[in-house]
A and B are shown apart, each in its own frame.
Chain A
Amino acid sequence: MTASMDEQTPRRRMLLGLGWVSFLISLLGPVLANVRFLFPNVVYEGESVLKLDSLEKYTVGSITFFADKKIVLFREKDGFRACTAVCPHLRCVISPFVGAPGASPDILRARCPCHGSTFDGRGQVLGGPAPRGLDFFLVTKSPDGRVVVDTRKVVAPSEHFKL
């Protein structure tokens, strides 16, 4: 470096600036590629469409808790409903719903063991830090007469799969 920046012609300064900008832009590609690399395109984490037992196995008024599938199945006189068993606060698995058999969803209670959020049978948050209620999923029937819960499709908590 013999000449200081002041002594350089504006043209040289512009070229130098252009060089720096190009250099920084050229860095952007590899950096973004490496970040993108870390986001997997395929994950192997189990099914999102869950096939349960045949319809008649679930008696009216029963609430079945599937800890491994992380869903709760409600068999009410209007039909089937299913909600997630994962707390929307920080993804702990909630405890099974408590309440008399055939009780109204408003009376049912489930709690999360991690931070104490409380939910009713419609999935609404009654207390604790959960930012929203439990998601309810679309319930259908398979051709061989079994209950199918599609966890990719969220529906209103009041929506029943009618027989």
Chain B
Amino acid sequence: MVTESPQKPGRGKAVSWLRDNRVVRSIFRRGYPDNDLDRAAVMFSNFFLHVLPARTHVHSLKPTYTWGLGIISLFLFVVLLGTGSLLMFFYVPSTGRAYSDMKDLQFVVSYGVVLRNLHRWAAHAMVAVVFLHMCRVFYTASYKAPREFNWVIGVLLWGATLMMSFTGYLLPWDQLAYWAITVGSSIASYPPLVGEYIRTLMLGGDTVGQNALIRFYVMHVIVLPGVMMILMGVHFWRIRKDGGLSRPPAPPSDAAQGEAAAFSPHKTYMLVELAEGKTPMVDTQAPEEEVMSWPHTVFRMLVVFVGVVAVLSAVAYFFDAPLEDLANPDHPPNPAKAPWYFLGLQEIVSYSALAGGVIVPAAAIIGLMTIPYVDRDPEGQGTWFTSGQGRRITLWSIVAVIPVVLVLTWLNEHYAVRILVPGASQIWVDLLNPGTILIVLFAAGSLYIWRRTGSSRMGALALYSYFLTSYLIYTLIGLYFRGANWAWIWPWQATGLH
């Protein structure tokens, strides 16, 4: 197939030679893909592109369907790998050096501060974007068959993203790092029976010290990125195997009526497509709904990548990543606040460590993972909020949660168990606090909606919206309404916020 492509008019000889010579051919085999055959071939012959299909469904390219959140998450991960690898050249995970290495990166190393800023803001952005991506997948019912297991992998990736943040913020060895890990590892000791073992395993001892620092470092730079890369590989591969991105079922057309007519005469099928029999790609996708992935998908991805890097660079240039005082094991800062994405959790932990640190997170993760196996009805797949009814239920679930959370917070301030009965037994504190009460209310509310509408999807929409809204409110409370000793304050009284 190797033939010299004819020189295009208006293009210099040198440019042609640069694009098409013996060495370039040895790398890319074919010339620049300027015809449909080469555009399809490049998706098979290029290692980095072969995860993409040769042709993409137009629905998958709609910005208002995906908002590009999955691909943005991937690009943020790539930026984090790059900046993280560079930072490793200057950072030594030793309690005696870690903090001064951070100061060197800020004030001594050329572009050190920019790289650290990029790494920090990309990490924050990834926590937010991965979460938004999960919301998109949920509200478009994309977790339904055949994508149930890919949703489970997505939940694991979300957990891994949070673990990456958690392990990463011990490394600067500043006050935030030290006390956040002291608190976080203590939360890990609350599950019955295994708790203390988990804590010892995390810290490599009984206090946050050198053993903990090296463990968190190894997790942050080797173990977790490795796990994430494997999970991401499976996540992307399964998108292909499960029939591409989710979309609404195609309207029944004449072509889809007869058995043989399910195959389009205008499309060439590969052996694997036929060997597996009925695949989602075969019977729902008509050729006229597809575009060539080169250039339509590839160049959109490129634009998104450039956009991500541009926004991050601008933010990293104007805003410095915070670095608090050197870790002081004698005095926690007051208030001692976790980063914003854990503040909601910290607020619930302040009611009861068992409820906030174990029961609520476990219920949320188990609930998320089991949703596709409970809500099996294929209704509404590929449509935001499923239907007008779904839209209304989502909206009203969000609206209804706000007063409930605020009233519970007020009750907890004035009539908490230990205010009514000083010295009350811990079991009452663990049972009667806003965290556990909300779980019961949320379960009851979503089951009621499921029964009332007869649709598990409507129940799921309500449940997800309850959790989402309450977590956002608790994050805001932790961020703006908590001061010294975690006492209630108003935002204009804020002291010691970082």
User: What B residues does A114 contact at CB under 8 A?
Assistant: 179, 183, 332, 335-336, 486
- Closest CB-CB distance, B128 to chain A, in whole Å? 25
Binary contact readout B323-337 vs A (1 if CB under 8 angstroms, 0 otherwise)? 000000111111110
B331 touches A93 (CB 8 A): yes
B350 touches A129 (CB 8 A): yes
Residue A81 CB within 8 A of the other chain: no
B418 touches A116 (CB 8 A): no
A131 touches B426 (CB 8 A): yes
Once bound together, how far apart are the Cα atoms of A95 and B332, in whole Å?
9
- Closest CB-CB distance, A69 to chain B, in whole Å? 9
Residue B209 CB within 8 A of the other chain: yes
A127 touches B422 (CB 8 A): yes
A113 touches B484 (CB 8 A): yes
Residue from A67, A92, A111 whose CB has the most chain B CB atoms within 10 Å: A92
Chain A 117-132 residues near chain B, CB threshold 8 A: 124-129, 131-132
Q: Which residue of chain B is the closest to A126 with respect to CB atoms? A: B422
User: What B residues does A70 contact at CB under 8 A?
Assistant: 330
A128 touches B418 (CB 8 A): yes
Stretch at the interface among B59-67, B156-164, B199-207: B199-207
- Closest CB-CB distance, A157 to chain B, in whole Å? 13
- Closest CB-CB distance, B249 to chain A, in whole Å? 38
Chain B 168-183 residues near chain A, CB threshold 8 A: 179, 182-183
A40 touches B211 (CB 8 A): yes
- Closest CB-CB distance, B291 to chain A, in whole Å? 43
Once bound together, how far apart are the Cα atoms of A67 and B349, in whole Å?
24
User: What A residues does B333 contact at CB under 8 A?
Assistant: 113
A132 touches B207 (CB 8 A): no
B330 touches A67 (CB 8 A): yes
* A116 contact from B205, B329, B485, Cβ within 8 A: B485
Once bound together, how far apart are the Cα atoms of A93 and B175, in whole Å?
13
A112-B485, A115-B350 known; A90-B429 Cβ under 8 A: no
Stretch at the interface among B351-359, B364-372, B453-461: B351-359
Residue B186 CB within 8 A of the other chain: yes
Once bound together, how far apart are the Cα atoms of A140 and B496, in whole Å?
40
B209 touches A45 (CB 8 A): yes
Binary contact readout A89-122 vs B (1 if CB under 8 angstroms, 0 otherwise)? 1111101000000000000000111111000000
Q: Report how many residues on chain A are interfacial, defined by Cβ distance under 8 Å.
A: 28
A45 touches B336 (CB 8 A): no
A113 touches B183 (CB 8 A): no
A92 touches B179 (CB 8 A): yes
Once bound together, how far apart are the Cα atoms of A93 and B186, in whole Å?
13
* A131 contact from B332, B334, B419, B429, Cβ within 8 A: B429
A93-B330, A113-B336 known; A131-B486 Cβ under 8 A: no
A127 touches B205 (CB 8 A): no
Binary contact readout B427-443 vs A (1 if CB under 8 angstroms, 0 otherwise)? 00110000000000000
- Closest CB-CB distance, B180 to chain A, in whole Å? 10
* B349 contact from A111, A115, A124, A125, Cβ within 8 A: A115
Q: Which residue of chain B is the closest to A68 with respect to CB atoms? A: B330
- Closest CB-CB distance, B327 to chain A, in whole Å? 13
User: What B residues does A45 contact at CB under 8 A?
Assistant: 205-207, 209
Once bound together, how far apart are the Cα atoms of A129 and B206, in whole Å?
22
* B183 contact from A90, A125, A131, Cβ within 8 A: A90
Once bound together, how far apart are the Cα atoms of A160 and B197, in whole Å?
34
Once bound together, how far apart are the Cα atoms of A68 and B182, in whole Å?
16
Once bound together, how far apart are the Cα atoms of A163 and B484, in whole Å?
39
Once bound together, how far apart are the Cα atoms of A115 and B478, in whole Å?
11
- Closest CB-CB distance, B256 to chain A, in whole Å? 37
Residue B476 CB within 8 A of the other chain: no
Chain B 400-416 residues near chain A, CB threshold 8 A: 416
A113 touches B182 (CB 8 A): no
A116 touches B426 (CB 8 A): no
B418 touches A127 (CB 8 A): yes
Q: Which residue of chain A is the closest to B429 with respect to CB atoms? A: A129
Q: Which residue of chain A is the closest to B416 with respect to CB atoms? A: A127
Once bound together, how far apart are the Cα atoms of A43 and B331, in whole Å?
23
User: What A residues does B250 contact at CB under 8 A?
Assistant: none
Once bound together, how far apart are the Cα atoms of A1 and B183, in whole Å?
56
- Closest CB-CB distance, B93 to chain A, in whole Å? 17
Once bound together, how far apart are the Cα atoms of A124 and B485, in whole Å?
18
A39 touches B201 (CB 8 A): yes
Binary contact readout B230-262 vs A (1 if CB under 8 angstroms, 0 otherwise)? 000000000000000000000000000000000
User: Could you pull out 15 A-B pairs where Cβ atoms are within 8 angstroms?
Assistant: A39-B200, A40-B200, A43-B211, A89-B186, A90-B182, A90-B187, A92-B182, A93-B330, A95-B485, A113-B332, A113-B484, A113-B486, A114-B183, A129-B350, A129-B352
Please list the residues of chain A having a beta carbon within 8 angstroms of any beta carbon in chain B.
38-40, 43, 45, 67-68, 70, 89-93, 95, 111-116, 124-129, 131-132
The 4 closest A-B pairs by CB, nearest first: A113-B334, A67-B330, A43-B205, A90-B186
